[in-house]
Amino acid sequence: MSLNVLVIHGANLELLGRREPEIYGGTGLEVIREAIEHRAERRGHRVSWFSSNHEGEIVDELNRAVGKVDGILINPGAFTHTSIALRDAVLAVAVPTIEVHLSNIHAREEFRRRSMLSDVVTGQVTGLGATGTVLAFDALLDLLEGKSLPEAKHAEE
C-alpha cells in the first residue's frame, strides 16, 4: 500500500543552513528533502512538498490536501505561534500530522513557546535539528503503516 505524505515548510525555512545556524543548524532544506525522499522511496511511498513564506498559501495547500493525503509533516516556522487559520486547516485535513521544529521552541523566547497547532497534531518533534525532521518523517510513516515498537522486556525476565 503506497502512502501519500505531504511535507510543508513555512516562513524562512528556505534559508536553512544560512540563517542563524547556531539556532537552526547548518543543514539546508535541500539536504533534508533528499533524506526524506530517499526514505519515502525506500519504503514505497510518495512524498509531495510545499514551501511558502505566506500563511494563506500554506492554508490553501492544506485545503487542497483534503482527501488526497494520508499524513502531513509540517514545520510552520513562525506561523506556529500566531496562526489560528493554519491550525484550523490542519484540523480540516483530518489525517495524522506531525509538527516539527529544528530548535527547541520550549527553550526559546516566551513568545515562541506556544504552538497554535500542538493540540491538534498527532505529535511534535522539537529541538533535534535536521535529524529531528527526518526522524519525525520516519515516525509518521511508522504510524501510517501501523507499525509499533515491540513491548519492552523487563530486565528480570
Is residue 98 in some structural domain?
yes
Is residue 153 in some structural domain?
no
Residue 3 backbone class (left: φ over 0; alpha: ψ -120 to 50; beta: rest): beta
Task: Give the model confidence (pLDDT) of 59-117 as tens digits.
Answer: 999 999 999 999 999 999 999 999 999 999 999 999 999 999 998 988 888 878 889 99
Q: What is the CATH number of the domain that holds 126?
A: 3.40.50.9100
Is residue 157 in some structural domain?
no
Return the beta strands (E) in the chain as ranges. 4-9, 46-51, 71-75, 97-101, 123-126
Tally of domains within the chain? 1
Domain span holding position 67: 4-145
Is residue 155 in some structural domain?
no
Is residue 50 in some structural domain?
yes
38 pLDDT tier (thresholds 50, 70, 90): very high
From the candidates 24, 45, 54, 81, which is the catalytic residue? 24
> Whole-number mean pLDDT of the chain?
91
Query: What mean pLDDT do residues 125-147 have?
Result: 96
Our answer to whether residue 9 is catalytic in this structure is: no
Our answer to whether residue 106 is catalytic in this structure is: no
From the candidates 38, 54, 101, 154, which is the catalytic residue? 101
